[in-house]
């Protein structure tokens, strides 16, 4: 490699370190190889130390104590930046001419951005920041080609056929937790943010339904903690859902009129579990201020609005991943054909829909 930007006539050694780039002359290379004094190195842009000093610290304190620079190669740079006309010779001269950190050597923001995209996600680097439509198509194709899955979560609201779906899951051989234990352990996750409890609990079973998986936006955390999972959104006519919910609560909790179900009614029940759960449902935020209105607990318009808006958010969230979400009105199905197909079971596993816990 010949360049006019150095004084000697010997060969140059271009070294790509874990934390940057270094150039050594023939004498420096031999001196270091045979235990001679350390030569001057390029400075690392992240640690503000010479490369060799960074490597020494990394070896003493562990490789993860210092954030490494991106490790580029000629082939990587040339293949990642087809829109920028650079040859191997151009890149070599840029490196040798400046002898600084790689970030300073490569002046083009386009090149730096492409290298970062390639470093974090090689399979998406050719789409990012170029064509969002092609990116979505690429992700959809990868999702369709994927085989197998992780966990199965029923994230539909209560009284939409979740108990029926639990029976179907168990019949298909999925391991499921006890409902009471699940509620006692995991309901607080929504308010405490202690997702390590959720992660440890879910890791022990295969499929889940009801509280807390049927509440709010927990499905987003589940999607992040357990990638490659399947989600089933059970749906029902909003008016029928509301009437069924009120009938079930009257029968289960023992009140005649919904006006009786104020904070005094819920206080003390199951250690204030129901008081705090229902309080979340009637808490509204307006202009950054919270207000609690217990009259909204069984208000028809408020309940239906909350129910439909959550369903819409879930469908929007999975809109680019049709293989990950099944939205189904199980109250209108006669068998489990659609569920078995979604969960990749053969046709011999199809059975009649049991329709349990109707109210």
DSSP sequence for 194-211? -HHHHHHHHTT-SEE-ST
Q: What is the pLDDT of residue 73?
A: 47
**Residue 356: inside a domain:** no
147 by Cβ neighbours in 10 Å (0-12 / 13-18 / 19+) ranks as exposed
DSSP state of 123: G
Boundary residue ending a domain (125, 160, 188)? 125
User: 188 and 153 in one domain?
Assistant: yes
Cα Rg, the chain, nearest whole Å: 30
**Residue 288: inside a domain:** no
User: 116 and 229 in one domain?
Assistant: no
**Residue 270: inside a domain:** no
What six digits make up the tokens of 125?
């680097």
User: 339 and 232 in one domain?
Assistant: yes
Contact present, 162 and 214 (Cβ < 8 Å): yes
Distance of alpha carbon 193 from alpha carbon 127, whole angstroms: 34
Contact present, 201 and 185 (Cβ < 8 Å): yes
Boundary residue ending a domain (75, 96, 125)? 125
Distance of alpha carbon 62 from alpha carbon 71, whole angstroms: 19
Count of domains for the chain: 2
User: 254 and 206 in one domain?
Assistant: yes
CATH of the domain at 221: 3.40.50.300
User: 186 and 321 in one domain?
Assistant: yes
User: 196 and 74 in one domain?
Assistant: no
Omega prior to 212 cis, within 30 of 0: yes
Q: What is the pLDDT of residue 181?
A: 86
Q: What is the pLDDT of residue 22?
A: 58
Q: What is the pLDDT of residue 46?
A: 45
pLDDT, tens digit, 9 for 90 and up, residues 235-256 = 999 999 999 999 999 999 999 8
Boundary residue ending a domain (92, 125, 158)? 125
**Residue 191: inside a domain:** yes
Hey, is 20 helix, strand or coil? Answer: strand
User: 115 and 158 in one domain?
Assistant: no
User: 308 and 257 in one domain?
Assistant: yes
User: 171 and 116 in one domain?
Assistant: no
User: 113 and 64 in one domain?
Assistant: yes
**Residue 136: inside a domain:** no
Q: Which helix (H) or strand (E) holds 287?
A: none
**Residue 282: inside a domain:** no
Distance of alpha carbon 42 from alpha carbon 44, whole angstroms: 7
**Residue 293: inside a domain:** no
Count of beta carbons in the 10 Å neighbourhood of residue 243: 14
What six digits make up the tokens of 276?
């705090």
**Residue 4: inside a domain:** no
Distance of alpha carbon 171 from alpha carbon 89, whole angstroms: 65
Q: What is the pLDDT of residue 154?
A: 96
Q: Of 8, 39, 119, give the one whose Cα is nearest residue 73.
A: 119
Q: What is the pLDDT of residue 83?
A: 43
Phi, psi of 223 (to 5 degrees): -65, -35
Distance of alpha carbon 109 from alpha carbon 336, whole angstroms: 54
Domain that residue 60 falls in: 12-125
Q: What is the pLDDT of residue 93?
A: 55
User: 89 and 184 in one domain?
Assistant: no
User: 101 and 46 in one domain?
Assistant: yes
Positions in the chain short of pLDDT 50? 1-7, 18-19, 36-85, 97-99, 105
The alpha carbon torsion through 293, 295, 301, 302 (nearest 10 deg) reads 30
Give the global pTM. 0.65
């Amino acid at each position: 490699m010949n360049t006019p930007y150095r004084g000697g006539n010997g060969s140059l050694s271009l070294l790509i370190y874990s934390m940057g780039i270094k150039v050594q002359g023939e004498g420096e290379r031999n001196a270091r190889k045979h235990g001679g004094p350390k030569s001057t190195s390029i400075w690392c842009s992240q640690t503000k130390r010479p490369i060799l000093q960074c490597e020494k610290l990394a070896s003493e304190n562990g490789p993860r104590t210092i954030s490494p620079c991106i490790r580029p190669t000629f082939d990587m740079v040339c293949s990642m930046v087809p829109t920028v006309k650079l040859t191997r010779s151009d890149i070599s001269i840029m490196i040798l001419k400046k002898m600084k950190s790689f970030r300073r050597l490569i002046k083009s923001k386009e090149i730096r951005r492409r290298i970062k995209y390639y470093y974090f996600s090689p399979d998406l680097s050719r789409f990012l920041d170029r064509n969002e439509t092609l990116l979505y198509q690429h992700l959809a194709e990868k999702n369709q080609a994927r085989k197998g899955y992780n966990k199965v979560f029923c994230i539909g609201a209560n009284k939409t056929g979740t108990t029926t779906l639990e029976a179907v899951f168990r019949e298909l051989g999925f391991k499921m937790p006890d409902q009471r234990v699940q509620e006692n352990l995991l309901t607080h996750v929504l308010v405490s943010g202690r997702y390590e409890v959720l992660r440890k609990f879910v890791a022990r079973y295969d499929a889940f339904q009801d509280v807390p998986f049927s509440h709010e936006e927990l499905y987003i955390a589940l999607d992040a903690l357990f990638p490659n999972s399947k989600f089933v959104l059970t749906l029902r006519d909003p008016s029928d859902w509301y009437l069924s919910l009120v009938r079930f609560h009257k029968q289960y909790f023992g009140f005649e009129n919904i006006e009786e179900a104020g904070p005094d009614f819920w206080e003390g029940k199951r250690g204030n579990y129901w008081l705090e759960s229902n309080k979340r449902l009637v808490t509204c935020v307006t202009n950054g201020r919270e207000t609690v209105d217990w009259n909204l607990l069984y208000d028809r318009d408020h309940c239906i609005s909350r129910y439909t808006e959550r369903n819409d958010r879930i469908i929007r969230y999975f809109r680019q991943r049709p293989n990950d979400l099944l939205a189904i009105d199980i109250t209108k199905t006669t068998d489990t054909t659609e569920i078995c197909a979604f969960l990749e079971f053969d046709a011999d596993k199809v059975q009649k829909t049991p329709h349990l816990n109707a109210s």
